[in-house]
Amino acid sequence: MPNVAPPLRWDIFCRVIDNLGDVGVCWRLCRELAHRGQQVRLWMDQTDALPWMAPGALEGHWPAIRILKWEPQWSHERYAQLPRSDVWAEAFGCEPPEVFISQQRALWPNGQAPVWVNLEYLSAEPYVERMHRLPSPLMSGPAQGWTRWFFYPGFTSATGGLLRESDLPARQAAFDRQAWRNSAAPATTPTRISLFCYEPPALPWLLDTLHGNTDTALLITPGRADVAVQHWLGQRPSPPYWVRRPLVDQTGFDEMLWACDLNFVRGEDSLVRALWAGQAFVWQIYPQDDNAHHDKLDAFLDWLDAPADLSDLHRFWNGMGGHPPPDLSPARLREWASATQRARARLLEQEDLATQLLGFVMEKR
């Protein structure tokens, strides 16, 4: 692992809006930075997901990552003791509190400042390449005169890239896929589909298709996907090859995606992980009130160069028209997996997000 930066002290700010993506993305970023010799303070307003997503995180299992509770009421006394940090990264524009900013500002000589980045949402839309690395000068408040920089993850070399561990290919190569598949569902079901979603409009289509299909095991993740499936089942008995999965850590979650023939994923982080998995996938995009997610999905499908039937299914799954494929046959899933693998090969030619972010910070210091 090339170290592109000396050990710096980072403050990463994570505010949980809903679901699991804020925690999931921030935690993966912290791990990548720690792996590159960085010291990280991770400020989080809700840490409930960490004990299962990253067991040991709150207990100091990663000494380079210190997790601090982001309290609604920040007091000067609480932050007065904090040493100065070199880099601030706010996830998804969550804004560090003013008290923190003024405390830290007092520790900087005039004319100097931390490198402050706003780590933005993931999108394949063209504006990302335009906005990536742009400055946003602060005109008022305790950071007046300082600059915050936009840092956009993305799918092309003109963006900040995607989070990717350097040992990912080695871990995938060492993974015993068959053993995982055998342990997860009855051996009588040759196909395995994982389900991680919100409440997609087309869920009844999928469940109708799979109910009674003894060739296919459905691995249902806990939370909203499970609740939606149980709601659909109502009084119907659940087929023995539909498996309710437990909550697992991020490594275990990734392995599920590597092991399945088709992964239904959602949000931001699991989409990236489905790409790295190299299997067929269908993405439920995080819905926005003004339907801004429609353009976002289309841009992603264009970038993916998805086969027509897979694009149609994406639109259908997300309630944007489209229609389902005639079947989910192994041949069709293999064709979709090939599309993922071609996209993954393009991505592997680009630098990962943590490496790019470190390079950016060194440039701006």
Catalytically active residues, by annotation: 22, 268
What CA–CA distance (Å, rounded) separates 360 from 365? Answer: 9
Q: Which tokens belong to 250? A: 């991020």
Q: How far is the CB of 288 from ligand TRH (least distance, A)?
A: 9
If we measure between CA atoms, which residue out of 90, 94, 43 comes closest to residue 70?
Answer: 43
Ranges of beta strands (E only) in the chain are 9-14, 39-44, 65-69, 87-91, 115-119, 135-137, 147-151, 191-195, 216-220, 242-244, 262-266, 280-284
Residue whose Cβ sits closest to ligand TRH: 21
Task: Enumerate binding residues for ligand TRH (CB under 6 A).
Answer: 17-22, 24, 53, 196, 221, 247-250, 253, 266-270, 286
Q: How far is the CB of 21 from ligand TRH (least distance, A)?
A: 2
What CA–CA distance (Å, rounded) separates 126 from 298? Answer: 12
Q: How far is the CB of 49 from ligand TRH (least distance, A)?
A: 7
Q: How far is the CB of 227 from ligand TRH (least distance, A)?
A: 13
197 vs 361, which CB is nearer to ligand TRH?
197
What CA–CA distance (Å, rounded) separates 6 from 87? Answer: 12
Q: How far is the CB of 250 from ligand TRH (least distance, A)?
A: 4
Q: How far is the CB of 15 from ligand TRH (least distance, A)?
A: 10
> 204: burial class by Cβ within 10 Å (0-12, 13-18, 19+)?
exposed
CB distance 313 to 241 below 8 Å: no
Q: Which tokens belong to 29? A: 């970023």
44 vs 361, which CB is nearer to ligand TRH?
44
Q: Starting from the edge strand earliest in sequence, which strands make up the sheet with 115-119, in order?
A: 65-69, 39-44, 9-14, 87-91, 115-119, 147-151, 135-137
If we measure between CA atoms, which residue out of 195, 183, 189 comes closest to residue 263?
Answer: 195
The kind and range of the H/E element at 178 are helix 177-184
The 8-class DSSP code of residue 16 comes to: -
79 vs 198, which CB is nearer to ligand TRH?
198
Q: How far is the CB of 105 from ligand TRH (least distance, A)?
A: 29
CB distance 219 to 193 below 8 Å: yes
If we measure between CA atoms, which residue out of 86, 85, 33 comes closest to residue 354?
Answer: 33
The 8-class DSSP code of residue 326 comes to: S
